[in-house]
């Protein structure tokens, strides 16, 4: 399983058989190196309904006949746009052809704003545990620090975790250091920073402060191969 980072909270996973993209916020994300019109994906996983996470989901899904997996209310909304969507809820897990998905808690909001200003309720926000061929990735989504992160770390053998550090809308750097300790992943990667003025942070500085010394501030487009 290969994972790559593409700015904000955009993460791609290549299982060798399937191409998965998480929270594909591309248009409007100056840090992103992807093009939604040419992006290839078999599966799209969504943590919550905010526009900077749903992003270009509908376009990519329609272009690729991709499956979208998301919290129930968000999945229903995506399905209303003519896209195949599978609904889940926090605590639930499911074995798909591409791997196992479990949604975890995340303390945040979840709503989508249409172009005309209409706000659509997106259900509860979530984190995503994705397990493929014995390798587990944890995308925390947008969240505050909460003690159950320690439980998730104890219950799962996590190979790589993507942790928000931006502050203002999510946990900030100090709380994210504790989150990194609690999730106990082999590698931790900072996300959700520098996209907007309120979340400007120094990912390299944060990574240098992680106690376990297992942090990696990934460059946009950089890939980590978990099979090696």
Span 112-131, pLDDT tens digits: 999 999 999 999 999 999 99
Contact 80, 72 (CB under 8 A): no
Return the pLDDT at 25. 98
Return the pLDDT at 227. 86
Return the pLDDT at 169. 98
Architecture of the 2-210 domain: 4-Layer Sandwich (3.60)
Return the pLDDT at 165. 98
Return the pLDDT at 163. 98
- Please compute, for residue 183, the number of CA atoms within 13 A of its CA located in the half-sphere on the CB side: 33
Return the pLDDT at 184. 97
Burial of 120 (0-12, 13-18, 19+ CB in 10 A): middle
Q: How is the chain split into domains, by residue range? A: 2-210
Q: Residues in the chain with pLDDT < 50?
A: none
Return the pLDDT at 164. 98
Task: Quote the longest CA-to-CA distance of the chain.
Answer: 47
Phi-psi category of 153—alpha, beta or left, where left has phi over 0 and alpha has psi -120 to 50? alpha
Span 195-213, pLDDT tens digits: 999 999 999 999 999 999 9
């Amino acid at each position: 399983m290969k994972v790559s980072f593409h700015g904000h909270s955009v993460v791609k996973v290549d299982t060798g058989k399937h191409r998965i993209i998480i929270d594909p916020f591309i248009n409007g994300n100056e840090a992103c190196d992807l093009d939604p019109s040419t992006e290839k994906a078999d599966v799209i996983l969504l943590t919550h309904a905010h526009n900077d996470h749903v992003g270009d989901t509908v376009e990519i899904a329609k272009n690729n006949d991709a499956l979208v997996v998301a919290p129930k209310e968000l999945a229903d909304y995506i399905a209303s746009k003519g896209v195949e969507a599978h609904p889940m809820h926090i605590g639930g897990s499911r074995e798909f052809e591409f791997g196992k998905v479990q949604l975890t808690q995340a303390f945040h909001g979840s709503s989508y704003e249409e172009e005309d200003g209409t706000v659509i309720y997106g259900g509860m926000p979530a984190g995503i545990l994705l397990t493929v061929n014995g390798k587990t990735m944890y995308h925390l989504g947008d969240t505050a620090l909460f003690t159950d992160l320690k439980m998730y770390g104890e219950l799962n053998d996590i190979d790589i975790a993507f942790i928000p550090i931006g502050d203002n809308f999510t946990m900030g750097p100090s709380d994210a250091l504790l989150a990194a300790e609690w999730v106990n992943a082999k590698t931790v990667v900072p996300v959700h920073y520098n996209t907007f003025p309120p979340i400007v942070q120094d990912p390299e500085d944060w990574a240098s402060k992680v106690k376990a010394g297992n942090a990696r501030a990934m460059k946009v487009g950089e890939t980590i191969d978990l099979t090696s």
